[in-house]
Structure 1
């Protein structure tokens, strides 16, 4: 959180400059007015710097007290999730933007460094914002479906480690595939807000189904102890039965820019009894050093390694070497992208008992065999 000298606090629209550059200053002013109105509706007295999009929070209108960090963080994520229509100004049907509210010293959106129109960043940002707006609208309107894919034991596929939640969005004709939406969410700075919605959904599932062990993906930008995670971790500390059944997977689509924050986040997850996993390892930004720093219980090797090993005519050593290294560092290995019997066999002889992929089951809206009846800590320790 950004602190001002007298102890008050500030939040800002971190992408205001980008919005004004892409859609014009009138749209920028409209976004600022909308956020100011929403803050006042929330009962906060504010001072506004309209040019920079910064809001100085003076306190509650009722008692003058400054809002707690948890309340301010929750409000910031809720405001980021709200779609701001610009259709009446632009004349474009369904046109909308999202104000990315920053309440701490976050990294700025990636596009902030790109200013050469020749690079086409105007068009890229507009397209990314459209994808982000459609994705968040689907989540808000209940048109977000979570399908579940099992992580299975090769020796007994009916034995499930957990089910990973995979998002499907219902927006006909919009092309909202995971490969399209998640990079757009990352680039526009809205990924953490989308993660917030997903984590809440998975927590609801855990409360409703006491035998379920579920995994949720978050971006690297969400791996910190600020904001909405504080409330989630407090609940997990009070509900060890929930924590023991939650797997948090950090994806590698973006680099971990604040490694110390991520380390503190990993320690906090372990402290409450939840399980940390690194997803798509080997195909993204996570390094061996970060693997050693974060100490995840589970490491999911990207399916690319298995595909290469399957294609090679000669025995491939890279996959068993990688599996061996991860096990030496204390992690339990899951090989992703298992699509055939031959791939399952190869992953197993390379050292991977736990596997995930179409061969073991397609993502489905209804989970089967969701409970394994054994503690996660025992299953990932190699003693089972």
Structure 2
């Protein structure tokens, strides 16, 4: 046996060394504290954990409990003494566990080390802690991550200003304080006017430099009690505390001057910037943060509509408030209809000009009210778009259209989507999933995007068209002619069909100008071999003219009204229930 003991000792030493390396890698150091003598004995990993390798002489600060206690920041974490020595628990032979966190700042070290200290104390002769065995783990990285997350929860990383969420909280508090103590304050929303042009000309890095510079200039002009926050990419929210209404305009002018007064030095050279401002007096013109934010943004848009570098002050209006309340009520109705599956489709035939037969139907959205009344899309879609509900509605329209195409194999449909959907990846993903489940539906579906939206977001719209066509769908430009489409734009969009804006068709027989314009649009489309649909066809004379111009398809109440009941299941046209558009 004795012959093997050296090998056993070597193995034991190696195992101990491995354990130390593992503890060091995990940022853990073990210690034992003899409370009576106040001596602390650390294992070798303490040097790495506390950074003693940089200055071994600092180890003397860890030798005793008193010396170590002097290193602990009393304001950073739980007091170690209280966690161990002030425990009201009694050691019944197995020891008493403890756990605490605190920061240790060694002399001359740049950063404190945050540690988690956990272990067991054993009672001495008096029953109080006499011996402590514990493990200290470096949790500095976790603390830094928590601090960063806490910072990001309230502050904008680029500018260092409070973010939208935190600004909303302070705004709510300011309004509540003003209502309670009859104090007038103000909320301003400032937008950088030409940031999109700067992005396009110089790139996002320079645009970010402009945002930071504008933020700094605004901050320098504000009082210490005022709050500056970043509410969107190019927009800042400003809370002016204790600000009378007559001071709002003066402040807005001063803020605009400080931005446009001199150029901003950037990595790409000097850049000029201006801001426009929407101003709201609180709490008189806004009784909560949501009202203040929306009214400031509405007023900012009004200021920008006049010219760059302008301001506007929100004014209460009974008519506007009445319209706003109606919109809110209508929004509630839309959300309820979505939840209760009360959105439905009405089908209007699109007639082939040569044969007079319905080759496809446009699926038009309708809402059924709880009492059974059917409401056309024109009554609620504009409000839905203003309040950000259009994407939800477009998803529901897609679901309803797919359900119809699956139920009726002979159905061919056209559906409209909003401008938001053209940049909504989730809508394309949903369409892709439907196509995977039922491949034949895509060849029977036409997706219509309005021309004005397509031209405004030309690159995104072109990508949207490509994605749809890759799935087998066709794409049509709706309201063709309203956006002054050129050969170049038609080529870039690469659509399958165009629909002439009905405003040019209505009264076509009486307007020579509209006749020339429609002929030009048809000629433009034919150059790309695109079928043409004319909307709002109202009488036989218009049908005759449009056929003569070479229009391929006709749509309008004269040729067929939208019907709720699926036309593919009807035995006669007279049995369909007509619904007003």
TM-score (norm 2): 0.42
CA distance in 1, matches of 2:422, 2:356: 31
Whether 1:129 aligns to 2:319 is no
CA distance in 1, matches of 2:453, 2:462: 16
CA distance in 2, matches of 1:179, 1:214: 20
Q: Could you tell me which of 283, 294, 299 is aligned with 2:498?
A: 299
Alignment of 1:14-33 (within 5 A): none
- The Cα of 1:344 is off from its aligned counterpart by 0.8
Unaligned 5+ residue runs, structure 2?
1-147, 154-163, 177-228, 233-289, 291-296, 303-311, 571-581
- What is the aligned partner in structure 1 of residue 96 from structure 2? none
- What is the aligned partner in structure 1 of residue 485 from structure 2? 287
- Whether the 8 Å CA contact 1:128–1:187 is kept in 2: the answer is no
Change in CA separation of 1:315 and 1:258 when aligned onto 2, cut-off 3 Å: closer
- Whether the 8 Å CA contact 1:111–1:187 is kept in 2: the answer is no
Alignment of 1:170-319 (within 5 A): 170-171=368-369, 176-237=375-436, 239-252=438-451, 257-283=456-482, 285=483, 287-288=485-486, 289-312=488-511, 316-319=515-518
Could you list the per-position Cα deviations for residues 29-56 of structure 1 after superposition, in whole angstroms to 9, with x for gaps in the alignment? Answer: xxxxxxxxxxxxxxxxxxxxxx9999xx
Q: Could you tell me which of 158, 163, 168 is aligned with 2:361?
A: 163
Could you list the per-position Cα deviations for residues 223-245 of structure 1 after superposition, in whole angstroms to 9, with x for gaps in the alignment? Answer: 13512321322332564311101
- What is the aligned partner in structure 1 of residue 536 from structure 2? 337
CA distance in 1, matches of 2:422, 2:510: 35
CA distance in 2, matches of 1:194, 1:156: 34
Give the number of the structure with larger relative contact order, counting CA–CA contacts within 8 Å between residues 6 or more apart.
1
- The Cα of 1:217 is off from its aligned counterpart by 0.9
**Who wins on radius of gyration, i.e. which is larger?**
2
Whether 1:358 aligns to 2:557 is yes
Whether 1:323 aligns to 2:522 is yes
CA distance in 1, matches of 2:166, 2:560: 44
- What is the aligned partner in structure 2 of residue 32 from structure 1? none
Could you list the per-position Cα deviations for residues 268-306 of structure 1 after superposition, in whole angstroms to 9, with x for gaps in the alignment? Answer: 1111110111112223x4733543321211111012212
- The Cα of 1:353 is off from its aligned counterpart by 2.3
- What is the aligned partner in structure 2 of residue 45 from structure 1? none
RMSD, matched Cα = 4.1
CA distance in 2, matches of 1:314, 1:260: 32
- The Cα of 1:262 is off from its aligned counterpart by 1.6
- Whether the 8 Å CA contact 2:504–2:514 is kept in 1: the answer is no
- Whether the 8 Å CA contact 1:16–1:53 is kept in 2: the answer is no
- The Cα of 1:253 is off from its aligned counterpart by 7.1
Count of residues in correspondence between the two structures: 282
- Whether the 8 Å CA contact 2:299–2:314 is kept in 1: the answer is no
